[in-house]
Structure 1
Amino acid sequence: MTNALFLTSDDVAGLAEPAEYVDAVRDAYRQRGEGAPAKPRTTLRNDDPPGMLFSYSAVLPETGAMGGYMYSAGFGQVDAWFMTPLFDADSGEPLALIDGASMNPYKTGAAGGVAVDALARDDATKLAVIGTGAQARGQLKATMTVRNIETVNVFSPTKENREGFAAEMNEHYDASVAAVASSAAAVEDADVVITATTASEPVFDGDLLEPGTHVTAMGQYHPEKRELDHTTIERATYVPDLRERVTQDAGSFISAMEAGVVDEDHIHAELGEVVAGEAPGRESDEDITVFDSGGTGIETTAAAYMLYEKAVAQDLGQEISISPASEALTGE
């Protein structure tokens, strides 16, 4: 029998700043680039009622933690449920079980922030955000910690959403945040473009990207999710979170492959390889770069362990008892 910590979404909400998430996730991707194990998402589908069960995991040896997400979506509901088991990477013992709802936009945003830091030009000041949900907020907050962003143009097809997003973010940042009437207006002259949507068709024209632009696309976690067009994929130095997931569920890249625009050799490197210095990232100010963020156990485990340590220090959460297999099987 061992004790682990159960942390609710409320326990971890506000426990860490966006920059702390970015720091933890950057180090985790460095470990991945140096060989830390991680596997892409596994998806199990239920037909009746229609729904899906997802899982992915990673081991971070230097952090001393391993874990990931298991979550469900569909089943007649409009919501998803995120659970994060966290284990000690030295002993294998459980450390915590975390309700992942409130950390989800922050840890995913942190992966985007790490990519912006690794791949965007150092002098990037103009940001475009396409999407206005929780994930768009997480991406913007993380990006603000790694670049001196001066202007943000945000687009959503729903006028009220984009105007509300701009008003909210203008209250939090010195940057000028403006709602614009089209994705083309958002992307025009942008140094960094973030797409955080559920789109099945491209959300902007890749011909509009200026040389030197960085794009983070985080809504491409299914073969039919396609935020980026063939032109963007073809023009870009293409960097995914995990190479193994690209042909599995990176919708935009899969579509470009099927159209004969690119092949697997177009995958430049994993983000972790760039962060660890094992592969170059941006090689000139003219390069267009893309980070394809489908979600991994790397950022999940890193964020969960960071939150776990903070919760322990602040005496948050509830202890739960978990039996080892030997005790459960033998009763001894």
Structure 2
Amino acid sequence: MLLIDRATVRQVYPMNRAIEVMAEAMRRYSGGLVDQPLRTILRPESDSGLLGTMPGYVQGEELAGYGLKAMVLKPENPARGLDLHIGIVMVFDPDTGVPVAMMDAGAVTAIRTAAVSAVAADALARPDAGDLAVLGSGVQARSHLEAMRLVRPLRRVRAWSRTAENAQAYREWAAKKLDIEVELVATPAEALAGADLVCTTTSTKEPIVEAADLAPGAHLNAAGASFADHRELSSEAVARSTFFVDSRQSAESESGDLRAPLAEGLVGPDHIAAELGEVLLGDHPGRRAAEEITIYKSLGLGVQDIMSGFAIAEAAQAQGHGHRFTLD
């Protein structure tokens, strides 16, 4: 079994490769080639954190087999200089079941989440979209900026964060690593004004995106607020949009952004237009009009981690990276 650290994950799994793999992952999921239960969340009353597990089985000629992601979320970690999410992704040989590789889940999640958002933006955003608003300044805000530039030429980037220090660090990182100038703004509304491409990457429990702030024709990737009691989008913003998801089952069970307007009666059970995989398979046309507002709600699926895990393991082995560990 290969042990693959964070730096190696990032080295062998560049964003352009991840976008290709994630497009195939979404096609397989919506095409019925994936067996996976809803993720299991364990929240002990005696602890501030939680444990999430996401097992699954993926069919296909490549990047297929059993896999598992297990992650612990610890709210205190950022103050300790650690990631909020800590965990592992494991993949198993499809023939023998022998563990093939175990790797840092935080790095996998950072890349694959943004890569799926890039797939969604490429499928749903207007061809001329390029005025990007980023809400948040953490790991996902960085990886989403890296991903968005690969699917649309960015003519302007504005970012908002609750913490001025984090926002400034984000701006400096973007200039140094990506040669992209980021304008920092004081409110979400300022970032959203006129933006035709939006990425929300926060862990807020209260909406930060209002319907009136969304420009006609905008596409929004809602990649934060991954739990039923978290929301980034107001109910009116969801109701005004054509709403796409990674998984109907997951969104209906776990998305606070969808469950709130459903409970308020602003949208009906049929408000989900399609899964992203259904758009990629040609079962839904996606965007129908230039002025239409589209939202892609990303909760994260085990298939994304599993197929990423196999791709990373293959690349690490081919390039001679990782530490080999024998179970015998």
Fold agreement, TM-score > 0.5: yes
Corresponding residue number in structure 1 for 2:139: 134
- Note the alpha carbon deviations across 1:40-86, whole angstroms, 9 max, x for none: 32111211134311011333322323313111123865543211110
Partner of 1:5 in structure 2?
2
In structure 1, the partner of 2:21 is 24
Letter in 1 for 2:152: R
Between the aligned partners of 1:306 and 1:34, the Cα distance in structure 2 is 20
Give the Cα separation in 2 of the matches to 1:310 and 1:129.
31
The yes-or-no answer on 1:33 pairing with 2:30 is yes
- 1:282-329, CA deviations, whole angstroms, 9 ceiling, x for partnerless residues? 111121111111111122112211111110011222223347xxxxxx
Distance 2:177 2:211 in 1: 30
Aligned residue among 162, 170, 173 for 2:167: 162
Deviation at 1:91, TM superposition (A): 4.3
Following the alignment from structure 2 to structure 1, what is the Cα–Cα distance between the partners of residues 233 and 264?
A: 14
Please tell me whether Structure 1 or Structure 2 has the larger radius of gyration of its CA atoms: 1
Q: 1:251 to 1:20 in 2, by over 3 A?
A: same
| 2:226 aligned counterpart, secondary structure | coil
* Equivalent residue, structure 1, for 2:193: 188
- Tell me the distance in 2 between the aligned counterparts of 1:61 and 1:320: 27
Provide the residue aligned with 2:81 in structure 1.
none
Kept in 1, the 8 Å contact 2:92–2:98? The answer is yes
Conserved 8 A contact 2:208-2:233: yes
Contact kept in structure 1, 2:217 and 2:291, CA below 8 Å: yes
- Which letter does structure 2 place at the counterpart of 1:147? R
- Amino acid of the structure 2 residue aligned with 1:290: I
Q: Percent identity?
A: 31
Counting only pairs closer than 5 Å after superposition, residues 49-128 of structure 1 correspond to structure 2 as 49-62=47-60, 63-74=63-74, 79-128=84-133
Q: Note closer, same or farther for the CA distance 1:211–1:39 as it changes in structure 2 (3 Å cut).
A: farther
| Residue 219 of structure 1: how far off its partner (Å) | 1.3
SS at match of 2:198: strand
Q: In the comparison of the two structures, how many residue pairs are matched?
A: 320
In 1: Cα distance, 2:166 partner to 2:194 partner = 23
Q: How far 1:267 sits from its partner (Å)?
A: 1.0
Against the structure 1 CA distance between its residues 80 and 16, is the aligned structure 2 distance closer, same or farther, given a 3 Å change threshold?
closer
Cα separation, 2, equivalents of 1:116 and 1:91: 38
The structural deviation recorded for 1:159 is 2.1
Contact between 2:71 and 2:105, CA under 8 Å: does it hold in 1?
Answer: no
Worse-matched range after superposition: 288-297 or 272-281:
272-281
User: How far is the alpha carbon of 1:207 from its aligned partner?
Assistant: 1.3
Kept after mapping to 2: 8 A contact 1:60/1:89: no
Counterparts of 2:77 and 2:218, CA distance in 1 = 38
Q: Once structures 1 and 2 are overlaid, which stretch shifts more, 190-199 or 161-170?
A: 161-170
CA RMSD of aligned residues (A): 1.8
TM-score normalised by length of structure 1 = 0.90
Q: 1:153 to 1:76 in 2, by over 3 A?
A: closer
- Paired residues for 1:180-259 under 5 Å: 180-259=185-264
Question: Could you say if the C-alpha distance between residues 283 and 17 of structure 1 is closer, same or farther in structure 2, counting changes exceeding 3 Å?
Answer: same
- Between 108-117 and 270-279, report the one with greater CA deviation: 270-279
Moved more, 252-261 or 11-20: 11-20
Mapped contact 1:31–1:276 kept (Cα < 8 A) = no
Counterpart of 1:46 in structure 2 is 44
Structure 1 residues 158 and 77 mapped into 2: Cα distance closer, same or farther (>3 Å)? closer
Q: Distance in 2 between matches of 1:161 and 1:74?
A: 19
Distance 2:76 2:14 in 1: 34
The 8 Å contact of residues 203 and 226 in structure 2, kept in 1 or not, is answered as no
CA contact (8 A) 2:54 2:70 kept: yes
Alpha-carbon distance in structure 2 between the residues aligned to 1:144 and 1:187: 18
**Helix, strand or coil: the match of 2:12?**
coil
- TM normalised by structure 2 equals 0.92
Q: Deviations over 1:108-153 (max 9, x none)?
A: 1111111111111111111000000001111111111111111100
Q: CA deviation at 1:175?
A: 4.5
Question: C-alpha deviations, 1:227-272, integer Å up to 9, x for none?
Answer: 0001111011111111111122101111111111112210111111
- Report the CA distance between 1:11 and its aligned residue: 2.8
Q: Aligned partners of 1:226 and 1:75: how far apart in 2?
A: 17
In structure 1, stretches of 5+ residues that fail to align are 324-332
Deviations 1:161-192 (Å, cap 9, x if unpaired)?
22321232123445542111211110011011
Counterpart Cα distance in 2 of 1:210 and 1:10? 38
